[in-house]
Amino acid sequence: MTHLTKTTRLATLAAAVMAVTACDGLLDVDSPGRIGDDDLASADAIPGMVVGMQYDMSQAVDGGLEIISMASMELFHGGSYGWSEIPRGVIEDDDSTPWSSAQQARWVAEQGIVRIGEILEPAQFAQSPYAAEANVWAGFANRYLGEVFCSSVIDGGPEIDHAEHFSRAEGYFTDALAIAQAAGLDDLENAAYAGRATVRAWQGNWTGAANDAEEVPIGFTWWAQLDTEMRNEITYETHSRFEYSVWGTLFEDHPDDPRAPWEIELNADNSVANGANGSTPHYKQLKYTDRADDIALAKGTEMLVLRAEAALREGATGIPAAYALMNEAREDGYGMDPLPVTATLAEAWADLHYERLATNWIEGRALWDYRRWSAETGPAQNNELDGRALCWPIPESEKDANVNFRG
């Protein structure tokens, strides 16, 4: 029998070890399609970063619209999806929530602004259309969080009052406005004015809100943009599936309002079709009919109604001005007949409530309107959704993951 020498054995072992360990780059892999964090530290990446902000904001608005519309009774749950008690106005911290996508939209925009600021020189930043747009997205993301959630968190921090998002949004809109004006960017300027008008109003600064709103043309709209890939879920769920119905909502009684269009879905035998739950008559909303239909975040007609609300807050003296503004929106914005001017503040507020709800129908805004109106006293108060939850709590998922909430 031939024996290996010790040297031979060691050499064999060494060869085996070296074969594996000595190859430089042996474990390096290169997979396309993954974008590294460092790749974003470049001026070339700025346009993509801003598109990402738009994408995340659109996804947040689109993704949350179904449950917000059910919570605000703009749509009735007539389908088979399990939404816990949300359709009945009970919202728990472990229910479906738009929290994650909304927080991502805010974080992406806010962090993006910091990144853009690090990449561009201050003078470039001050006139950059990308910086202006980034600030607009940061503003709307904060407004969304402030409107939808009962309280909130910034970047994994402790719980804060939801209204902090409004002041935060005002800051971003103000920055956007300055950059847009410096760069001569009309659309972004209008968007910043429209956004700031709303968050100023929500903070009680109705004069400032009205002033900003006045700057926005009636035909202007700033959208959460969708396309055939990031589809409009409401379109799909009301046209392809029958999950949500206008039946049982406020607008069931307003079949001819062009701002809230719907129709009764009929079977082949002309009977009323039921929703996917088999029992709810399917009254199909027609505001969104294409899977790529965008969702408005701010628009000139809303600005008119906002100014009308500001006018009513002046008391009875503001009634004529309020009706003038509401009717301007109706006539010039939607080709509708004007409302007759009423004599009492209560009737005027009732009209204002309806006009605002109709103007922003299924845009994810009504829940906040009910929430703030329910907190009012006097004729401005609206108790239509009393007994129902009017905001989303910070979800269990955030509280479980956030060290500030762990006892």
Residue numbers 20-49 binding another protein by CB under 8 A? 20-21, 23, 26-37, 39-40, 45, 47-49
Per rule CB under 8 A, count of chain residues that contact another protein:
74
| Nearest to another protein of 191, 329 (CB atom) | 191
Among positions 167, 214, 231, 332, the unique one binding another protein when judged by CB under 8 A: 231
Please report, as residue ranges, which positions from 139 to 168 form the binding site for another protein (by CB under 8 A). Answer: 152-157
| Nearest to another protein of 147, 398 (CB atom) | 398
In angstroms, give the least distance from the CB of 90 to another protein: 12
Does the protein bind another protein through residue 56 (CB under 8 A)?
A: yes
Closest CA to 281 of 317, 327, 248: 248
Does the protein bind another protein through residue 266 (CB under 8 A)?
A: no
The type of residue at 380 is A
| Nearest to another protein of 314, 400 (CB atom) | 400
**Burial environment of residue 293 by CB neighbours within 10 A (0 to 12, 13 to 18, 19 or more):** middle
| Contact (CB, 8 A) for 139 and 172 | yes
In angstroms, give the least distance from the CB of 331 to another protein: 31
Q: Which residues pair with 245 in a beta bridge?
A: 76
| Contact (CB, 8 A) for 220 and 50 | no
In angstroms, give the least distance from the CB of 157 to another protein: 7
Those residues whose C-beta lies under 8 Å from the C-beta of residue 110, and which sit 6 or more positions away, are 138, 141, 172
Please report, as residue ranges, which positions from 68 to 87 form the binding site for another protein (by CB under 8 A). Answer: none
Q: How far apart are CA 173 and CA 133, in angstroms?
A: 10
Taking CB under 8 A as the rule, which mask of x and - marks residues 164-203 in contact with another protein? ----------------------------------------
| Contact (CB, 8 A) for 183 and 127 | yes
DSSP class of residue 88 equals G
Among positions 4, 90, 272, 346, the unique one binding another protein when judged by CB under 8 A: 4
In angstroms, give the least distance from the CB of 35 to another protein: 4
| Contact (CB, 8 A) for 87 and 66 | no
| Contact (CB, 8 A) for 196 and 214 | no
Does the protein bind another protein through residue 115 (CB under 8 A)?
A: no
| Contact (CB, 8 A) for 376 and 313 | no
Does the protein bind another protein through residue 3 (CB under 8 A)?
A: yes
Please report, as residue ranges, which positions from 346 to 385 form the binding site for another protein (by CB under 8 A). Answer: none
C-alpha to C-alpha distances, 176 to 72, 133, 356, nearest whole angstrom: 31, 7, 26
| Nearest to another protein of 3, 337 (CB atom) | 3
Instruction: Tell me the pairing of strands 283-285 and 262-264.
Output: antiparallel
| Contact (CB, 8 A) for 320 and 341 | yes
The full DSSP string for 305-360 is: HHHHHHHHTT-GGGHHHHHHHHHHIIIIIH-PPPPPPPSSHHHHHHHHHHHHHHHT
| Nearest to another protein of 25, 122 (CB atom) | 25
Closest CA to 137 of 97, 94, 163, 168: 168
Does the protein bind another protein through residue 229 (CB under 8 A)?
A: yes
Residue tagged 């997979």 (tokens): 31
Does the protein bind another protein through residue 268 (CB under 8 A)?
A: yes
Among positions 163, 171, 241, 254, the unique one binding another protein when judged by CB under 8 A: 241
In angstroms, give the least distance from the CB of 34 to another protein: 5
Among positions 51, 272, 346, 375, the unique one binding another protein when judged by CB under 8 A: 51
In angstroms, give the least distance from the CB of 195 to another protein: 20
Does the protein bind another protein through residue 2 (CB under 8 A)?
A: yes
Does the protein bind another protein through residue 237 (CB under 8 A)?
A: no
Calculate ∠ Cα 108-69-139, nearest 5°: 30
In angstroms, give the least distance from the CB of 182 to another protein: 24
Taking CB under 8 A as the rule, which mask of x and - marks residues 90-109 in contact with another protein? ---------xxx-xx--xx-
In angstroms, give the least distance from the CB of 330 to another protein: 30
| Nearest to another protein of 277, 342 (CB atom) | 277
Q: Which residues pair with 284 in a beta bridge?
A: 263
Sole window of 172-180, 245-253, 301-309, 399-407 interacting with another protein (rule: CB under 8 A): 399-407
